[in-house]
Structure 1
Amino acid sequence: MTLSLTDYIGAFSQSENLAAVAGIGRGIEREALRILPEGKLSEHGHYHQLGSALTHGQITTDYSETLLEFITPVSHSPEQAIAQLQDIQKYTFDNIDGELLWPMSMPCFVTDAEKIPLAQYGSSNIGKMKTVYRQGLKNRYGSMMQVISGIHFNFSFSQDFWQVQHKLHQTEKIESAVGKPLPLDDFISDRYFSILRNYKRFCWLIPYLYGSSPAICSSFLQGKEHNLPFKKTPFGTLYLEYATSLRMSDLGYTSAEQSTLKICYNNLADYVAGVQQATKLKSKDFAGIGVKVNGQYQQLNDNVLQIENELYAPIRPKRVAKSGEKPSVALGERGVEYIEVRALDVNPLSDTGISLEQVYFLDIFLTFCAFVDNKEFDCSAQKIHESNMNDVVLRGRDPELLLSDTNNQGDVVLKSVTTWGNEIFEQLKLVAELLDKAYQTSNYSAAIVREQAKINDANLTPSAQILTAIQEQSLSQYALDKASKYRQQAKERDYQFYSQTFFDESVPVSHQAQADIEAADVLNFDDFLADYFA
C-alpha cells in the first residue's frame, strides 16, 4: 500500500492538521544587473551605502560588482515575502545614484564582456576566495553567462507538517508490515528527496508557465557558437519562435562539463557522495586554465566543480551551513532543511521579478510534489526528465511538441503540453483547495484558474507576451521602459515590512562585520585554501 494524493489531502484536511499545512516557509533571492538610464551596464562598483556585500543580510552581489542579489529571510506568508523584496529594492533605488535594475534574465547590451567587473568582498581570506571563485567562473564559462539573472525560491514545510506525514507513514508501514519506520529527521530528508524527484519530473511546467527569456540582445552571443535557428525582429533582437526560457537552455546558465556527472536524487547519502566526488574530479579542459599562474589565482582548482555552489541544477536540497562548513557536510550531518527552486526566470512583468501570483502557484506545485509518491529513478530516467525540460525551454509553445512521461508500468508515453498539463492541473486543483482551506483564502484556486489558462492558450504565457511586444519595439527599449516604471513605483511606495532606519543602521554594522572578519584572519591565503579543501 502506498499513500496517494487523495490520502494526503484527506488527512491534512482534518481540522487538527490544517495548521500544519499553513506553516510553509518561503525566502526569495532575486538577481538584478545595475544599469545606466540609457541601458548600458553600470561601471560603478558596489555602492558603499548598500552595505558590505560580504556580510549584509539583505543586499549582496553575485558574480559581478554590478550584479546585485536581494535576499529575503524566511517568511510565512506570500504577501510578506513580496513586501520584503519591494522594501529592499526601494532602499537600493534610493542609494544607487539614479541607476536602474535590468528587469530581465538575459543581460542588457554589453559591448565587451571582458570589462564586466568581478565582485569584490574585501581582503579577508573568505572574501578573496569568493572573488577567485568568480575568476574561475569567468575563465571557465565567460562573463556573459555569469551575468544572466534569475530568481531562487527557497521553500520549506513546517516541523508539524512532517510530523503528520511521519505518523501517516508509520501507520502505513504497520498496516502493510513493510519495513521499519524511519526516525523523523531521516524521514524528512527522504521526503524532501521525493519532492526533488517529482520536481524533476514535472518541472517543465515552470519554464512553460513563467519562462520570460525567449529573446536575447545580439550582443549576448559575442562569437559564441550555437546551432539555434534564431529569427530577428525589425529592431535586431534575436528570438526563437516557440522558446520560453533561453536562460535555461544550453545557450544560458549551463555547463557541458557537468553533463557527465551522475548526481541523482534518490537519497541524501548518494546525493552528498555525488556532489563531493564532483568537487574532486579533475577536468582536462579546466586544467588548461591553470590554477595559480604568475602568482595570480585563475580558479580555486581545476576540478569539475571548484566548490559545490558551481553545480548547476534546477533545484537543490539545502541546509543552512555553519561558518566555513561545506554545504554537503551540513546536509550529510543534519539532513535537508529546505529546497531551493532555481528554474525561475526574472519576470519582467513584475516589479520584483517574481509576482505574488507566482508564489501562490509554487506553494501549490511543491505541495503537490510532496503528496505524489514516486519511485527512485536511475540516471537514464533522470535524462528523460531533463530532455523534457530542454525541449520546453527551446520550443515549449510549439503545438507539435511531445513530451515523454512514464506510465505505471514504467513505459514511456508521449504527451502534448496541453494533454499532460491538464492532467497535472486536475491534481493541482485538489492541492489548491486544501491550501485555500488552510490559509482561509481563495487565492490558491484563483492561481490554478489563471495558470491552467496558459496550458490551453500559449499566447497567455509571458514568453509569448514578450515576443509580441518586441515586434513593436526593441528588447532594450521594452526592458528600459519597465525598469524606469519600476524604479518610480519603488520610490513612491512606503516601506511595508522594513524601515528606512533598519537599512540605515544595517549598513555600518555590515561594514564593521567585514572588518572584524578581516582582522581575525591568521593564515595566508594559500594556507587558507589548503585547509578549506583538505
Structure 2
Amino acid sequence: MADSRHSLLQQFAASDWSGFLKGVEKEGLRVDANGFIAQTPHPEALGSALTHGRITTDYSEALLELITPVFNSTGAMLESLRDTHRYVQQNLGDEVFWAASMPCEIDGDQSIPIAEYGRSNVGQLKHVYRQGLAVRYGRVMQSIAGAHYNLSLPDSFWQKWQEVTGNSDSLQDFKSDQYFWLIRNFRRRSWLLMLLFGASPALDSSFVANMKHDLSRFDDRTWHGQYATSLRMGDLGYHNNAQASLNICFNELATYTRTLDRAIHTNWPAYEAIGTQRDGEFIQINTSVLQIENEYYSAVRPKRTTERGEKPIQALDARGVEYIEVRCLDLDPFSPVGVNQAQVDFLDLFLLDCLLTDSPRIGDEECERLDDNYKDVVAS
C-alpha cells in the first residue's frame, strides 16, 4: 500500500498544485536586563494581545507569541517571522526576547504573571482559563516556550489525490480521513523529530527549585539530562497525570472529537476539590479533566479555523480538518527566530511521507508502545 501511494503521487506533477501551505507560531519570554523573567505588562507598542493578528501572549504576560500568516513558501514565512521578531525586539526597551525553550531565571509561581486581556467577556474568559492552568498544574510549567508549525495541502492537491486514489467520499470527509492517516504515522515517528530537533536538554536551576527530579548538576546554575533531547516535552514540561488518563483517540475524526469532548465534560476529583471560585473570583472555567480543548497537550493536533462563538470541536465536526499543527518543536537557540529553513523543509517532507506511507489504525498496545518510544527519546 505504501509503494502504491508513492507511485500515485508520481501520477501528477508538482505543477498541478501550488505546494504546501504553512505558518508558524513562535513563543518566547520577555527577560529583563538581569536575566529574570519580565514583570512588566505587555508593551503598548506591540498592540492588544487580544486582537493583534501577529503579536499576542500565551500563558504569561511575559510569554510572547508571534504568528505568521499562511504562506506557500518557507522563505516567505521565515521572512515574515523575522520582520515581526525585529519589530518586537525594537520595542522591548531594556528587555530581550529569550532564545531558549526552557525559561530564564524565575522565582516560583508568583514570579510568572498570568496574561491579561482586558475586561471584555472574551478577554476575561482567556484570563480565567489561564488561572485554571495555574491552579491545576502550577505556573512554572507554563513558562516554557516552543514553536508550533502549521501545515496544510491546497484543495488542488486533494482533488487530484482523491481522483488518483479512486475515493468517492465528499472532499471534506476525504481530507479529514487523509489528515488523520498522516497523524497516525506522525505519532509512530514523532520520536525522530525529538531526536533531530530536541533542543532543551538543560535548564536554569530556578526552574526545579523545591522540585523532585533526576537531572544531573552541570554547574552552579544549571541542571541537565545527560542524554535528554527535550526536557520541555518530558515529565518536567508539558505533562500531568489527569491528561495521561484521557486516551484521546487519533484514529479518525469522529473518535478524536468524541473522546476530546468526553474529557471536557468529565469531572476530575482533584479539580472539583479546588472549585471554580475563590474569594468571589473565578479561578478555573470548570472542574472537568479539560477546561477547553486547547488544554490538551499533544505533539500534533488536527485543526480547523473557528467562526465567532464556535468551539474547536464544533468546527472540526462541522467542516472537517483544515490543517495540521505540529506542537513538539523546541526553539532552535542557534536561529535568531527560533526555527530555520532546513528544519521546515525537513518537516514538509516528513509530513508528506507520513501521508504517503501505509497507516493502519493504532490499537491500545501500539499506542502504549509509541508513547514509551517518545518518552525514551525525550528523556534519555
TM-score class, shorter-chain normalisation, is: over 0.9
Tell me how far 1:258 sits from its aligned partner.
0.6
Q: Distance in 1 between matches of 2:219 and 2:141?
A: 25
Match of 2:80 in 1: 84
| Deviation readout 1:401-446 (Å, 9 max, x if unpaired) | xxxxxxxxxxxxxxxxxxxxxxxxxxxxxxxxxxxxxxxxxxxxxx
Match of 1:12 in 2: 9
Greater displacement, 79-88 / 370-379: 370-379
Match status 1:193 vs 2:176? no
User: In structure 1, which of residues 356, 359, 381 is the aligned counterpart of residue 344 of structure 2?
Assistant: 359
* TM-score normalised by structure 1 residue count: 0.70
Q: Distance in 1 between matches of 2:138 and 2:17?
A: 43
Match of 1:216 in 2: 203
Contact 2:37 2:111 in 1 (8 A): no
Match status 1:123 vs 2:119? yes
Aligned length: 380
Match status 1:383 vs 2:368? yes
Contact 1:17 1:164 in 2 (8 A): no
Largest Rg, 1 or 2:
1
| Deviation readout 1:294-340 (Å, 9 max, x if unpaired) | 21111111110001110010000000000121000000000000000
Q: How does 1:201-350 map to 2 (within 5 A)?
A: 201-226=188-213, 228=214, 230-350=215-335
Change in Cα spacing, 1:106 to 1:40, as seen in structure 2 (3 Å) is same
Q: Distance in 2 between matches of 1:48 and 1:161?
A: 42
Gaps in structure 2 of 5+ consecutive residues = none
* TM-score normalised by structure 2 residue count: 0.97
Contact 1:20 1:158 in 2 (8 A): no
SS in structure 2 of the partner of residue 93 of structure 1 = helix
Match status 1:155 vs 2:151? yes
Tell me how far 1:111 sits from its aligned partner.
1.9
| Deviation readout 1:21-47 (Å, 9 max, x if unpaired) | 542011100000000132111111001
Match of 1:69 in 2: 65
Q: Distance in 2 between matches of 1:351 and 1:369?
A: 29
Tell me how far 1:384 sits from its aligned partner.
1.1
SS in structure 1 of the partner of residue 59 of structure 2 = coil
Amino acid in structure 2 at the alignment position of 1:370: L
For the aligned residue pairs, the C-alpha RMSD in angstroms reads 1.3
Q: Distance in 2 between matches of 1:33 and 1:133?
A: 20
Q: How does 1:94-133 map to 2 (within 5 A)?
A: 94-133=90-129
Q: Distance in 2 between matches of 1:83 and 1:27?
A: 11
Q: Distance in 1 between matches of 2:171 and 2:263?
A: 29
Q: Distance in 1 between matches of 2:111 and 2:322?
A: 39
Q: How does 1:20-39 map to 2 (within 5 A)?
A: 20=16, 22-39=18-35
Tell me how far 1:254 sits from its aligned partner.
1.4
Contact 2:182 2:359 in 1 (8 A): no
Match of 2:52 in 1: 56
Tell me how far 1:224 sits from its aligned partner.
2.2
Amino acid in structure 2 at the alignment position of 1:387: D
Gaps in structure 1 of 5+ consecutive residues = 174-180, 396-534
